[in-house]
C-alpha cells in the first residue's frame, strides 16, 4: 500500500512538473485545468489540490473556511515557480485565499488568479467551484457556424451590460435565467444576430463596467457564481439562432492589493519597468505581455470562455493600449529600436489569434482598436495581427460628429461623411455605436441630435441609424439605442423602458426592428461588406444640398440596393440617382413613413429609369427624397445587361 501511495504521489509531482514546464514556456493554453483549486482524490482521500504560480515568494500558504482560516504551507514544485498542496475533506463552495509571504517576510492575502468564483465585493475570498456537467444541445448551431463564411453573413450585435438592461420591481438585476426568458425573445423580435456581453469576469468596482478585472476565470459574483445558468443561456441563444460574444480585457488589470498586482511581492503579472507597468489613464496595471507565464495565463483565459461556455467570439478591449508604448498619459520607455511600438504586445496578439483560430477558425476575434495601425484584420502569415474584425472608430467618430451639427451647418462639414469612403475597406470593419458613446457627458444618441423639436430630433436619429445599417460593415449597437433612450446610460439603473409610452419612442423601436430585418434579408446589404465590389458610390460630393447615395451589391448580378440619404430638413424633389440597370425600381424602405414616426402617409413605390447616365451609372431615376430621410430601392423589373463593375 505504501509503495502504491508513493507511486501515486510521484505521478502527481511529475504531472505538476510537466504542467509547469508548458506554463513557463508560454504554451499552456488550458492552465485552468490544473491551476487554482481542483477536486482530487489522493491517498484514497477526497479533497482539493491548490496550485498557484508565485515565482519570487519566500513561502505560499492557503487558508479557508474549511480550516477556520488557518494557514497551511504549500510545497514548491521544484524550481518552476509553482506551489501546490492537497488538502482532504474540502467541499465545493468553500471559501479560500492564498497568503503570499515575500522575501522580506511580509505576508499578503491574495485571491486565486485561477479561481472559478469569488465573493461579492467588498468581500474578497475566492470560492471553490467545479466545472458543472452541462448537457449542451447546440451542435447544429456550431456545425453551421463552422460551415459559414462570416464575412458574407449579416452581423448585427446588441451590446449588453447585464445588470442594467432590466431590473426587477425590487431593484435587483436580472439573472441569466431571467435573460434567457426575456432577452432572447426581445433580441429575436428586434432582429439582431448576436448579443455581446460587456465583461462578465469578476470585477469589484461596478463603476468600471467590468473593464478592471480581478478574476479572469470567474463570473462576477453579483451576476451569480454558478456557471450553469450562463451555459444554459448561451445554449438557448444558439437554439434561437443568436450568437453570443463576450468582452475580454487582456491589456490591463485592477490594482487592488488582494488581486494580481505585485502578486508574489514583486511585479509578477505586470511589467518590471514602472513606466510600462502603471496605466495612468485607467488607474490599472499593464500585463507584461512578453512574459511567457502571462501569455499562458491570458490565452488560457480566452480559451476558457470560448470553449467552456460555447461563446462565438470575444471582443478584445483596448487593443491600442497593447500596441503602443506611449498610448498612456505620462512617461514611457521606448522599445529596443527606440520607437513607440509595444513589440511584446504585437507578438502576444498574433500568438493569441493564431491559437484561437487553430482551434476553431469560425470564432469572431474582434479588436477594439482606435488608431490607424495597419493590418489589424490581416492574417498573421501576412504580417497582420490576425483578428477577423475591427471596430471602425474613425467612421463612428466622424459620423456622430456630423450628425451632432445643426443640419444648416452640415454642408460645411460634409467631409465628415465622404472621407470615410477612403478607408472603408482598409480592414474588416464593425461599425460601433457602443456604450462608450453614451456616457461621461456625451449624451445618448437621441440627445446628440439637434433639437429644434422632438419630431426633428427623432428624424435625425432615424437617418443616423439608417446610415449605420446601410453603410458597408458589420454592426454593433448598445442597448437602449433602439428605443431612443434620452438619458445617458447609467450602469446602476435600468434602461428607460417607460419611454416607450411617449410619442415617437415606440415608433422608433419599430423602425429599428424593421431596419434590422431589412439588413438581414437583403443580401446586398451584407454579402460583400469586406469587398470593394460591394459598393458603387453614386453621390458623395453634394455638400450644398447635403445628400448622399450609393449602391450596395450582392454576389449575384442584379442583386442591388440603391440607398439615398438627405441630411437636411428640406425635401429634395426630382432628385436624380444613377442606377446600373434599365427598367423600374421599387422603394422597399423609407425612414419618413408615418409608421416610423415620420410625416409620409403614402409612398410612390415604383420609379422608371430614363436613359440619362448619372454619376458613372448608365441609367437614372428621379425620386422625391424626403427631408431628413434614408430611403432604399431595389430593382423591380429591370434588364440586367451587364455584370457588376
Q: Which residues contact 218 (CB under 8 A, 6 or more apart)?
A: 115, 116, 117, 118, 126, 127, 129, 201, 202, 225
75 lies in some domain: yes
- Per-residue confidence (pLDDT) for residue 515, from 0 to 100: 98
Percent of the chain residues past pLDDT 90, beyond the cut: 95
- Per-residue confidence (pLDDT) for residue 644, from 0 to 100: 42
What secondary structure does DSSP assign to 331-377, as a single string?
-----TTSSSB-HHHHHHHHHHHHHHHHH-TTSEEEE---S--TTTT
User: 536 and 516, same structural domain?
Assistant: no
Q: What is the pLDDT of residues 450-476, one digit of tens each?
A: 988 999 999 999 999 999 999 999 999
User: 478 and 572, same structural domain?
Assistant: no
Domain that holds residue 598: 532-639
Rounded CA-CA distance 297/137 in Å is: 29
The Cβ of residue 585 has, within 10 Å, a number of other Cβ atoms equal to 24
148 lies in some domain: no
User: 519 and 540, same structural domain?
Assistant: no
User: 546 and 518, same structural domain?
Assistant: no
User: 481 and 548, same structural domain?
Assistant: no
Q: What is the pLDDT of residues 163-175, one digit of tens each?
A: 999 999 999 999 9
pLDDT exceeds 50 at position 518? yes
User: 266 and 158, same structural domain?
Assistant: yes
Q: Is there a catalytic annotation at residue 571?
A: no
> Cα angle at 157 between 153 and 159, to 5 degrees?
165
Q: What is the pLDDT of residues 393-430, one digit of tens each?
A: 999 999 999 999 999 999 999 999 999 999 999 999 99
217 lies in some domain: yes
Q: Is there a catalytic annotation at residue 368?
A: yes
pLDDT-derived band at 645, boundaries 50, 70, 90: very low
What secondary structure does DSSP assign to 283-334, as a single string?
TEEEB-TTSHHHHHHHHHHHHHHHHHS--SEEEEP-HHHHHBTTSSSS----
C-alpha cell at 120: 461579492
pLDDT-derived band at 5, boundaries 50, 70, 90: low
Which of these three, 503, 525, 547, is where a domain ends?
Answer: 525
Q: For the chain, what is the mean pLDDT?
A: 95
Which of these three, 79, 110, 127, is where a domain ends?
Answer: 127
pLDDT exceeds 80 at position 632? yes
- Give the containing element (helix H, strand E) for 518: helix 505-521
User: 264 and 387, same structural domain?
Assistant: yes
Q: What is the pLDDT of residues 36-59, one digit of tens each?
A: 999 999 999 999 999 999 999 999
What secondary structure does DSSP assign to 556-599, as a single string?
STT-EEEEEEE-SSS-EEEEEEEESSEEEEEEEEETTBGGGT-S
User: 168 and 80, same structural domain?
Assistant: no
- CATH number of the domain within which 579 lies: 2.60.40.1180
User: 316 and 358, same structural domain?
Assistant: yes
pLDDT exceeds 70 at position 3? no
Rounded CA Rg of the chain: 27
- CATH number of the domain within which 44 lies: 2.60.40.10
Q: Which residues pair with 391 in a beta bridge?
A: 430
Q: What is the mean pLDDT of residues 607-619?
A: 96
Which of these three, 494, 525, 556, is where a domain ends?
Answer: 525
> In this predicted structure, which of 8-12, 134-138, 430-434 has the lowest mean pLDDT?
8-12
Q: What is the pLDDT of residues 101-127, one digit of tens each?
A: 999 999 999 999 999 999 999 999 999
CB 110 within 8 A of CB 261: no
Q: How many domains does the chain have?
A: 3
499 lies in some domain: yes
595 lies in some domain: yes
pLDDT exceeds 80 at position 560? yes
User: 421 and 277, same structural domain?
Assistant: yes
What sign results for the dihedral spanned by CA atoms 595, 598, 606, 616?
negative
User: 368 and 223, same structural domain?
Assistant: yes
Q: What is the pLDDT of residues 323-335, one digit of tens each?
A: 999 999 989 999 9
pLDDT exceeds 90 at position 586? yes
- CATH number of the domain within which 367 lies: 3.20.20.80
User: 490 and 548, same structural domain?
Assistant: no
172 lies in some domain: yes
Q: What is the pLDDT of residues 90-104, one digit of tens each?
A: 999 999 999 999 999
Q: What is the mean pLDDT of residues 528-555?
A: 97
CB-based burial of residue 284 (10 Å sphere; 0-12 exposed, 13-18 middle, 19+ buried)? Answer: buried
Active site residue: 368, 437, 496, 592, which one?
Answer: 368
32 lies in some domain: yes
Higher per-residue pLDDT: 642 or 366: 366
pLDDT-derived band at 224, boundaries 50, 70, 90: confident
Torsion of CA 80, 86, 87, 92, to 10 degrees: 90
Q: What is the mean pLDDT of residues 210-215?
A: 94
Q: What is the mean pLDDT of residues 464-491?
A: 97
Rounded CA-CA distance 24/27 in Å is: 8
Percent of the chain residues past pLDDT 70, beyond the cut: 98
Active site residue: 180, 202, 288, 317, which one?
Answer: 317
138 lies in some domain: no
- Per-residue confidence (pLDDT) for residue 121, from 0 to 100: 92
- Per-residue confidence (pLDDT) for residue 330, from 0 to 100: 87
Amino acid at each position: 500500500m505504501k509503495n502504491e501511495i508513493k507511486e501515486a504521489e510521484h505521478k502527481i509531482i511529475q504531472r505538476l512538473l510537466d504542467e509547469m514546464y508548458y506554463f513557463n514556456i508560454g504554451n499552456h493554453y488550458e492552465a485552468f485545468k490544473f491551476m487554482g483549486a481542483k477536486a482530487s482524490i489522493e491517498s484514497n482521500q477526497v479533497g482539493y489540490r491548490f496550485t498557484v504560480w508565485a515565482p519570487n515568494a519566500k513561502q505560499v500558504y492557503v487558508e479557508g473556511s474549511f480550516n477556520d482560516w488557518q494557514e497551511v504551507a504549500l510545497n514548491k514544485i521544484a524550481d518552476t515557480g509553482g506551489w501546490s498542496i492537497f488538502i482532504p475533506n474540502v467541499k465545493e463552495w468553500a471559501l479560500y485565499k492564498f497568503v503570499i509571504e515575500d522575501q522580506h517576510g511580509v505576508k499578503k492575502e491574495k485571491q486565486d488568479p485561477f479561481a472559478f468564483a469569488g465573493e461579492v465585493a467588498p468581500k474578497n475570498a475566492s470560492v471553490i467551484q467545479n466545472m458543472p456537467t452541462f448537457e449542451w444541445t447546440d451542435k447544429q448551431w456550431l456545425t453551421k457556424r463552422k460551415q459559414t463564411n462570416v464575412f458574407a453573413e449579416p452581423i448585427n450585435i446588441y451590446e449588453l451590460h447585464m445588470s442594467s438592461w432590466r431590473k426587477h420591481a425590487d431593484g435587483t438585476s436580472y439573472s441569466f435565467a431571467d435573460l434567457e426568458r426575456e432577452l432572447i425573445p426581445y433580441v429575436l423580435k428586434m432582429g439582431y444576430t448576436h448579443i455581446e456581453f460587456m465583461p462578465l469576469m469578476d470585477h469589484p468596482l461596478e463603476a468600471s463596467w467590468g473593464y478592471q478585472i480581478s478574476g479572469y476565470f470567474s463570473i462576477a459574483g453579483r451576476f451569480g457564481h454558478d456557471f450553469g445558468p450562463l451555459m444554459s443561456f448561451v445554449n438557448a441563444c444558439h437554439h434561437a439562432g443568436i450568437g453570443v460574444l463576450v468582452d475580454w480585457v487582456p491589456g490591463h488589470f485592477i490594482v487592488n492589493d488582494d488581486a494580481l498586482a505585485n502578486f508574489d511581492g514583486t511585479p509578477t503579472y505586470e511589467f518590471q519597468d514602472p513606466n510600462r507597468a502603471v496605466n495612468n489613464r485607467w488607474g490599472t496595471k499593464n500585463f507584461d505581455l512578453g512574459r511567457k507565464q502571462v501569455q499562458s495565463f491570458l490565452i488560457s483565459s480566452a480559451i476558457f470562455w470560448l470553449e467552456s461556455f460555447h461563446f462565438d467570439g470575444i471582443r478584445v478591449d483596448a487593443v491600442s493600449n497593447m500596441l503602443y508604448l506611449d498610448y498612456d498619459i505620462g512617461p514611457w520607455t521606448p522599445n529596443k529600436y527606440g520607437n513607440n511600438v509595444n513589440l511584446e504586445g504585437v507578438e502576444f496578439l498574433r500568438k493569441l489569434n493564431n491559437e484561437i483560430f487553430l482551434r476553431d477558425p469560425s470564432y469572431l476575434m474582434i479588436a477594439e482598436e482606435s488608431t490607424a495601425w495597419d493590418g489589424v484584420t490581416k492574417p498573421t502569415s501576412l504580417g497582420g495581427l490576425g483578428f477577423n474584425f475591427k471596430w471602425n472608430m474613425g467612421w463612428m467618430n466622424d459620423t456622430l460628429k456630423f450628425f451632432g451639427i445643426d443640419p444648416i451647418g452640415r454642408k460645411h462639414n460634409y467631409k465628415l461623411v465622404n472621407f470615410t469612403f477612403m478607408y472603408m475597406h482598409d480592414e474588416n470593419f464593425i461599425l460601433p455605436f457602443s456604450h462608450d458613446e453614451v456616457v461621461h457627458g456625451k449624451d445618448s444618441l437621441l440627445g446628440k441630435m439637434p433639437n429644434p423639436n422632438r419630431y426633428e430630433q427623432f428624424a435625425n436619429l432615424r437617418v443616423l441609424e439608417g446610415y449605420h445599417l446601410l453603410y458597408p460593415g458589420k454592426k454593433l449597437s448598445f442597448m437602449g439605442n433602439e428605443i431612443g433612450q434620452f438619458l445617458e446610460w447609467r450602469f446602476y439603473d435600468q434602461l428607460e423602458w417607460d419611454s416607450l409610452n411617449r410619442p415617437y419612442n415606440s415608433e422608433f423601436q419599430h423602425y429599428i426592428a424593421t431596419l434590422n430585418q431589412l439588413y438581414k434579408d437583403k443580401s446586398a446589404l451584407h454579402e460583400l461588406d469586406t469587398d470593394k465590389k460591394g459598393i458603387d458610390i453614386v453621390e458623395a460630393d453634394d455638400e450644398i444640398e447635403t445628400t448622399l447615395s450609393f449602391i450596395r451589391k450582392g454576389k449575384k448580378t442584379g442583386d442591388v440596393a440603391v440607398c439615398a440619404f438627405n441630411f437636411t430638413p428640406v425635401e429634395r424633389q426630382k432628385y436624380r440617382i444613377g442606377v446600373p440597370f434599365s427598367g423600374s425600381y421599387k422603394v422597399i424602405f423609407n425612414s419618413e413613413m408615418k409608421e416610423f414616426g415620420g410625416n409620409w402617409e403614402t409612398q410612390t413605390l415604383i420609379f422608371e429609369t430614363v436613359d440619362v447616365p448619372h454619376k458613372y451609372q448608365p441609367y437614372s431615376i428621379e425620386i422625391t427624397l424626403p427631408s431628413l430621410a434614408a430611403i432604399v430601392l431595389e430593382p423591380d423589373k429591370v434588364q440586367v445587361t451587364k455584370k457588376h463593375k
